[in-house]
């Protein structure tokens, strides 16, 4: 009997065709974020997480112990830290590698959502044919992946936890769908995989706690398998979720920023904010700052209450006629609930990144509506053509939005362009300009920040730096002391106050301030540099070396530490060693005229 090779080729061709759609989803999702590969770290938590944090750098025993025990900046995210430690191992402090990892994870999430849609859409729309299901699933995945609201989670390295937790969250959903595929039994391997993936999601970011409620909703619709057994199946997920919820409260220690009435007002407003920005993603900003005072009876909050109540009433009334719309809306609310103002954490009334887990239900709903509209109609080409046109428009907006996160100046410029009343935006810009020694440009921002938020410690610290650099040391001391009084755990004003004392010849007083700064923040590189400078000023250059070394261990690209270490060595007439530090300082900061002049002098005096 002759063997027909065409029979072997057919399954391969079918498999190849099935791989085309998810591959295209991945390519488009990654392509929309390509500009992020040129972005750097930004001085908004990236500095605290990476530039000034030596503890995550690598995957050795010391780093792993830190990752699995730390609540750094109020989060317990050990798996996220492990991916960042791997990035450091592969890329060092080159931000390109970090952005590449986030982009790849996000593209993987888009593919996972494609496969989730492939399983859910036929359940919701039983008349769906294969081609329509594939196209609708691509639409769902891409509406999620290339929407500009995703930029903050993908293009901000600090938010690696979003894309990593999102990855495991979707793996858990996909495994659960595979586990319950036969209506009469559970496929144990897939079920165990779902539980394991959920645990990994929680160890990546605690906002994944909503998964048990999401799975329960899927069991009700579109799976329609709700029974007493479902409660038992979901019990392990609920236990993990409860444990993670307790741990996140311990980690965050959320301050009592708002009253209950204010929290409800902010929650209603934020809920509509996310829906509005999803439908019309314009005027996006890295920060939507919480007002200094929230009036629950203000018109925008009252209007939010009314709209939410009306929408909920209509959803309940038409729940049997449009179950898919209700299910998507409930899933959206479930996912966004931890991010609303009920548990207020931080200075924002809302944030683009908070929509990452809540976006898939809306994307699935939109794709389902397109599929429903086109099924059995001649308008299929027009319907899907319009949907893919929307995808391309969103991708173009995302391409542009990623450049907002290119660097610190572009970030704070966008914040202030959208809200000139943002005290945090003015402080961020002032801090950046002061780091570039653009004191005249920084002064208006520091003054505006203090006027907007008189109790904002960092604003007073920045204004103190402005005064110190313009020669008004008395005013600078008052601002530093105000900052310390407002926020006793804030280290920078101690270090800055020490600089003034050292300049006045009070080295012991300066050292006391540096010690206080380092006690508050052991990774305060500037305090070590300033301490070393004070010792050089006091005629103890040999003792200063350990502080410069400590500063460089914390922040390897600290040009000031290299420069001042070189000065300390030059004072000791160790010109060859000094020249090496001056060269390093010049490599880190090619515009440094001081490093260039010191290097020339060290070479002339015997530095080689």
Spell out the SS3 assignment of 400-434. HHHHHHCCHHHHHHHHHHHCCCCHHHHHHHHHHHH
- The residue among 78, 86, 95, 98 whose CA lies nearest residue 40 is 95
Between β-strands 348-350 and 288-289, what pairing exists: parallel, antiparallel or unpaired? Answer: antiparallel
Structure pTM? 0.91
> Which pLDDT does position 602 carry in this prediction?
83
> SS3 for 519?
helix
Comparing 184-188, 423-427, 552-556, the range with the smallest average pLDDT is 184-188
Q: What pLDDT sits at residue 305?
A: 86
Q: pLDDT > 70: what percent of the chain?
A: 94
E-assigned strand segments in 248-338: 288-289
Q: What's residue 340's pLDDT?
A: 83
Residue 168 confidence (pLDDT): 98
The yes-or-no verdict on residue 45 having pLDDT over 60 is: yes
pLDDT at 139: 96
Q: Does residue 381 have a pLDDT over 80?
A: no
Q: 411-430 burial by CB neighbour count: b if 16+ within 10 A, else e?
A: bbbbbbebbeebbbbbbbbb
pLDDT, tens digit, for every residue of 348-365? 899 999 999 999 999 999
Arithmetic mean of pLDDT, 65-87:
95
Identify the sign of the CA torsion 20, 26, 31, 34.
Answer: negative
Residue 302: inside a domain: yes
Give the per-residue pLDDT at 252.
64
pLDDT band at 7 (very low <50, low <70, confident <90, very high): very low
Token match 């209450």: residue?
305
CB atoms under 10 Å from CB of 500, counted, come to: 20
HEC-encoded secondary structure of 199-228: HHHHCCCHHHHHHHHHHHHHHHCCCCCCCH
Range of weakest confidence among 18-27, 67-76, 242-251, 395-404:
242-251
Question: pLDDT exceeding 90 applies to what percent of the chain?
Answer: 66
Over residues 464-507, the pLDDT tens digits come to 999 999 999 999 999 999 999 999 999 999 999 999 999 998 99
Retrieve residue 6's tokens.
């065409």
pLDDT at 476: 95
Alpha-carbon distance of 424 to 286, in angstroms, equals 11
Spatial contact of 231 and 186, defined as CB atoms under 8 Å apart: no
The pLDDT, as a whole number, for residue 17 is: 60
Q: Is residue 230 part of a domain?
A: yes
Q: Which of 155-169, 226-240, 289-303, 378-392 has the highest mean pLDDT?
A: 155-169
CA dihedral 434, 439, 444, 450 (to 10 degrees): 50
- pLDDT bucket at 280, cuts 50 / 70 / 90: very high
What are 163-221's pLDDT values in tens digits?
999 999 999 999 999 998 876 677 889 999 999 999 999 999 999 999 999 999 999 99
Q: With 70 as the cut, is the pLDDT of residue 55 above it?
A: yes
Both tokens of residue 69?
Answer: 């025990």
Q: What average pLDDT score do residues 75-103 get?
A: 96
pLDDT surpassing 70 at residue 14: no
How many Cα atoms occupy the beta-carbon half-sphere of 2 within 13 Å? Answer: 3
Top-confidence residue, 231 or 67: 67
Look at the chain and report how many structural domains it folds into: 1
As a whole number of angstroms, the distance between CA 55 and CA 63 comes to 6
Read off the pLDDT of each residue in 53-71 and give the average, rounded to a whole number.
95
CA distance 498 to 503: 9
Select the more confidently predicted residue: 341 or 399: 399
Residue 564 in domain: no
* In a domain? residue 434: no
Q: Which of the four pLDDT bands, split at 50, 70 and 90, describes residue 254?
A: low
Residue 137 has pLDDT above 60, yes or no: yes
> Residue 3's pLDDT band (boundaries 50, 70, 90)?
low
pLDDT digits (tens, 9 = 90+) for 498-545: 999 999 989 999 999 999 999 999 999 999 999 999 998 888 888 989
| pLDDT tens digits, 443-470 | 999 999 999 999 999 999 999 999 999 9
Q: Identify the band that residue 1 occupies on the pLDDT scale cut at 50, 70 and 90.
A: very low
Choose among 406, 414, 412, 403: nearest CA to 32: 403
Nearest residue to 224 via CA among 124, 325, 125, 294: 124
Is the pLDDT assigned to residue 63 strictly greater than 50?
Answer: yes
Mean pLDDT, the chain, integer: 90
Cα dist. 235→174, 212, 229, 328 in Å? 18, 8, 10, 23
- Region of 74 please: left (phi>0), alpha (psi -120 to 50) or beta: left
Range of the domain at 130: 17-405
Task: Report yes or no on 200 lying in a domain.
Answer: yes
Please state whether 471 falls in left (phi above 0), alpha (psi between -120 and 50) or beta.
left
């Amino acid at each position: 009997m002759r063997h027909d090779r065409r029979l072997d080729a057919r399954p391969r061709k079918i498999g190849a065709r099935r791989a085309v759609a998810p591959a295209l989803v991945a390519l488009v999702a990654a392509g929309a974020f390509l500009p992020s590969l040129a972005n750097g770290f930004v001085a908004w938590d990236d500095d605290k997480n990476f530039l000034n944090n030596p503890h995550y750098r690598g995957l050795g025993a010391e780093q792993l112990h830190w990752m699995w025990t730390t609540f750094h900046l109020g989060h317990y995210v050990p798996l996220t830290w492990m991916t960042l430690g791997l990035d450091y191992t592969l890329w060092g402090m080159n931000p390109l590698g970090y952005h590449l990892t986030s982009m790849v994870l996000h593209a993987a999430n888009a593919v996972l959502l494609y496969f989730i849609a492939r399983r859910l859409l036929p359940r919701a729309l039983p008349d769906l044919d294969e081609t329509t299901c594939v196209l609708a699933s691509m639409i769902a995945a891409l509406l999620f992946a290339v929407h500009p609201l995703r930029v903050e989670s993908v293009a901000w390295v600090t938010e690696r936890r979003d894309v990593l937790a999102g990855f495991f969250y979707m793996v858990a959903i996909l495994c659960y769908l595979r586990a319950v595929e036969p209506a009469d039994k559970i496929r144990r391997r897939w079920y165990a995989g779902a539980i394991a993936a959920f645990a990994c999601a929680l160890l990546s970011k605690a906002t994944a706690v909503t998964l048990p409620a999401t799975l329960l909703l899927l069991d009700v619709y579109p799976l329609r398998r709700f029974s007493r057994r479902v409660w038992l199946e979901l019990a392990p997920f609920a236990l993990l979720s409860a444990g993670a919820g307790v741990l996140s409260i311990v980690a965050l220690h959320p301050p009592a920023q708002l009253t209950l009435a204010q929290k409800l007002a902010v929650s209603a407003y934020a809920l509509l904010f996310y829906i509005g920005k999803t439908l019309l993603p314009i005027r996006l900003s890295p920060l939507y700052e919480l007002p200094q005072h929230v009036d629950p009876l203000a018109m925008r909050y009252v209007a939010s209450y009314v709209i939410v109540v009306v929408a909920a009433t209509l959803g309940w009334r038409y729940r049997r006629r449009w179950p898919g719309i209700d299910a998507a809306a409930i899933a959206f609310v479930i996912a966004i609930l931890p991010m609303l103002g009920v548990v207020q954490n931080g200075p924002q009334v809302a944030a683009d990144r908070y929509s990452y887990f809540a976006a898939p239900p809306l994307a699935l709903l939109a794709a389902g509506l397109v599929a429903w509209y086109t099924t059995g109609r001649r308008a299929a080409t027009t319907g899907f053509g319009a949907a893919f046109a929307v995808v391309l428009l969103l991708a173009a907006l995302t391409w542009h939005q990623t450049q907002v996160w290119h660097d610190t100046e572009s970030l704070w410029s966008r914040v202030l362009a959208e809200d000139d009343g943002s005290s945090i935006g003015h402080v961020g810009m002032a801090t950046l300009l002061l780091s570039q020694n653009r004191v005249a440009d920084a002064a208006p921002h520091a003054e505006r920040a203090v006027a907007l938020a008189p109790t904002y410690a960092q604003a007073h610290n920045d204004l103190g730096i402005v005064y110190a650099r313009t020669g008004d040391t008395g005013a600078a001391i008052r601002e530093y002391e105000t900052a310390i009084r407002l926020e006793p755990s804030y280290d920078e004003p101690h270090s800055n106050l020490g600089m003034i004392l050292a300049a006045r010849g009070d080295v012991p007083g300066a050292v006391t301030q540096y010690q206080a700064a380092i006690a508050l923040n052991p990774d305060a590189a500037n305090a070590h540099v300033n301490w070393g400078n004070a010792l050089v000023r006091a005629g103890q250059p040999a003792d200063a070396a350990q502080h410069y070394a400590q500063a460089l261990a914390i922040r390897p690209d600290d040009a000031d530490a290299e420069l001042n270490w070189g000065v300390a060595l030059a004072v000791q007439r160790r010109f060859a060693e000094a020249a090496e530090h001056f060269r390093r300082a010049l490599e880190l900061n090619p515009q440094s005229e001081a490093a260039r002049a010191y290097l020339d002098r060290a070479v002339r005096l015997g530095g080689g």
